[in-house]
Copies of this chain bind each other. A is one copy, B any other.
Amino acid sequence: MEESEKQRDSNSSFGHISHLALDIGGTLIKLVYFSRKDDSRFLDDNQEEVSCDSSSNNLILSGRLHFVKFETCKISQCLEFLSSKHLHHTGVWHNEVPASGKNIVKATGGGAFKFADLFKDKLDIVFDKVDEMECLVSGANFLLKTVHPEAYTYMDGQKEYVQIDHNDLYPYLLVNIGSGVSMIKVDGENLYERVSGTSIGGGTFLGLGKLLTKCKSFDELLKLSHQGNHRAIDMLVGDIFGGLDYSKIGLASTAIASSFGKVVSENKELDDYKPEDVSRSLLRMISNNIGQISYLNALRFGLKRIFFGGFFIRGHTYTMDTISVAVQFWSKGDAKALFLRHEGFLGAIGALTKYKSDGLYNLTVPQVVDGFINSSLEEEEDPVSDTIECSMQLRPQ
């Protein structure tokens, strides 16, 4: 014990932080890490902060999980953040002592491969790569079982938290909307299959949005869409039928017949359209398409519940409403869209749970968590999206 205490002291400025996990996607880097309750002191004798489960000899740490994000194209900001918080020294810790190597960190997403050398060179961090789909599933399962409330429905302006029965969670469809979209059938804790996906995702929204409007960021584009009217851009059934419904096949006159179809017959330039209308139309096109393909895959495997995650959603009401309506419309009310409060961090949390083999025995969230997390990526914002109280049970190695 003497050795570990010495180590602790020498690391006093960062010894309170541990278990860093990264999910490096095509557009965003998501981090999750744990901090002990007290930032400056190490209180072995304080039952609330560090305790020992005498029956199992496991160490229990109370603290918080931190959720942080950066744009992948601004990876240097991420490196600086890690460096300033001394997070690059905080891979796996057992009993406050670095285990297999102080700089081995769980990482997932394509960037765990692409940027492995960069993290090694700049921060001396070695990635222990974990499969992306595995992390998404583990992250979703963890959130659904541990954080309350985590899942909710959103329709017609109404958010409703959903109580998840742990014995009746599987099977479900997990749809992760990042730059692209992955659809995973989840049958159990570690039983899953990526059954589909689409390239029309968050990257399409921002990529096309940047080209079509003056917006530079996802948040700006989303904000813009609030004030927009998609009917100025989309060809509706009523536009084709002269204001009538196509009643024989149940298409209302307000249904979109062709996204961006109104532009075809108008003799206008891009500048003649309001960017807010363009943004709204784009968001609707993409959300609706994801909702439809998700439903078709849920139907294929008889799944009634579809959980949507990924940073595309960002608690944005119009996005969720469109996805919910799409799922309801195509399933005739048979399937349900559910959303996750920590939607953007499924992969990173999943990677964090993979420290299990390194002594992380259990993670629990003791308190009811409320409010939406900060999903914004505005320059001036803190990169920390959220923190939640958490208790970590560590098994001596």
Contacts and interface: CB of A to CB of B under 8 A. Distances in A.
Contacts of A369: none
Nearest to A208: B260
Contact of A297 (B132, B200, B206, B296): B296
A235 interface: yes
Given A26-B257, A114-B240, A256-B199, A212 B211 contact: yes
B180 A261 contact: yes
A114 B241 contact: yes
A257 B180 contact: yes
A264 B27 contact: yes
Contacts of A243: 114
Copies in the complex: 2
A292 B179 CA distance: 18
A72 B237 CA distance: 15
B293 A246 contact: no
A124 to B, nearest CB: 20
Contacts of A201: 258-259, 261
B265 A131 contact: no
Most chain B CB inside 10 Å of its own CB: which residue of A72, A114, A237, A297: A114
A263 to B, nearest CB: 4
Interface string A251-294: 00000111111111110001001000010000001001100110
Contacts of A115: 242
A330 B199 CA distance: 13
A273 B211 contact: yes
A323 to B, nearest CB: 15
B26 A261 contact: yes
A237 B293 contact: no
A368 interface: no
Interface stretch (A88-96, A105-113, A358-366, A383-391): A105-113
A176 to B, nearest CB: 12
Nearest to A253: B110
A110 B237 contact: yes
A265 to B, nearest CB: 4
A343 interface: no
Contacts of A199: 234, 256-259, 261, 285, 288
Most chain B CB inside 10 Å of its own CB: which residue of A131, A258, A292: A258
A315 to B, nearest CB: 20
10 contacts: A26-B264, A27-B261, A73-B265, A110-B240, A110-B257, A132-B246, A178-B258, A199-B259, A201-B258, A208-B263
Interface of A: 25-27, 71-73, 109-111, 113-115, 131-133, 178-180, 194, 196, 198-204, 206-208, 210-212, 233-235, 237, 239-244, 246, 248-249, 256-266, 270, 273, 278, 285, 288-289, 292-293, 296-297, 299-300, 330
Given A133-B248, A203-B257, A207-B235, 12 more contacts: A71-B265, A72-B265, A110-B241, A113-B242, A114-B241, A115-B242, A179-B257, A200-B285, A201-B259, A208-B260, A211-B278, A293-B296
